[in-house]
Structure 1
């Protein structure tokens, strides 16, 4: 079994982070990395008590937290670096126990990047707000039109081969992280697949879709990122 690390960006997720960590299949993962993204609550304390590595990212931003986790994993000794990295949110909206579904296509050498698609899977009623559903549809439609990338979702639950992740040279530090990964994978002709995943109402309040400002900023950044790399 290859070394597999899980990176969990977390901002004010003290009520959910322990449940996310505990639901990750322990036999599958070599290390869980929680990146405390400038939280103002007890996210770091709760996460540390659950056992994973906890890092601190002082610069706010989803992408920045992911990059902080990557930097930690990839500055280890070569023998300790992961061959696969899984990203999952800290709000317990995804089902961490479904991680084997995302990893399997990589283990079978059928994919370099695997997206957990909420559009293809079962969603709890109200788990995704109308603006999220529309935003996903618009972004994936633009990806298909401009990059010939056939995705149904920009879901945060994803697995990627580490060597492929390095080729992407990820840059975005805020809301454009997920779409940047997918469009760059298309440009580089990486093998990308989707697997259906379940999705439930998150624990706590969404910092993006839960506010008009967050929704507008995220939507603008995603669309701008799509056109930036044309």
Structure 2
């Protein structure tokens, strides 16, 4: 399994920073009706139980926002992806359907309130590290222009940065030819609940992506 670590720079501002990682061989494909129905059910449950004005106070999102503030990044401009996703649902804007892995990410984010990113193992090198983006650093975001990653929590390997809780890069994005992924759940709230969500991730990957050769680790 790809090894992951968390830098001292991140730990200095958030001692509870934790990564939940699951690596698996998968079949990436367009999502079937059963998966889309499960995603839609999650979204409707969220709408029934949460108000837009309460999103920022959810513990998982609040803790992420505090880390961004400490790093000098405006959390309302550079929202963590879980907050952006939940806000989009509550604003009635609906969800884009990309592929089965992205839909599984979204189910996990809706249920856990954590940001979740999945990456093409073929395009990254072990070890990977959650650290702080440096001044002048940026990358081409998925479906976006250049993302300014200075002072953001970012995932890096020996090549470059490739992901963050806000927006991932194109380098390791999940396309239909990907054969193996590593999925990372970003927590700035410690490891509480991570085992539960990693097991849910495993269940969803087996059910909807024919996953096998599965490995799980929690990195503190």
Scaled by the length of structure 1, the TM-score of the pair is 0.30
Q: Of the two structures, which has the highest relative contact order with CA contacts closer than 8 Å and spacing of 6 or more?
A: 2
Higher strand content, 1 or 2: 2
TM-score, normalised with respect to structure 2: 0.31
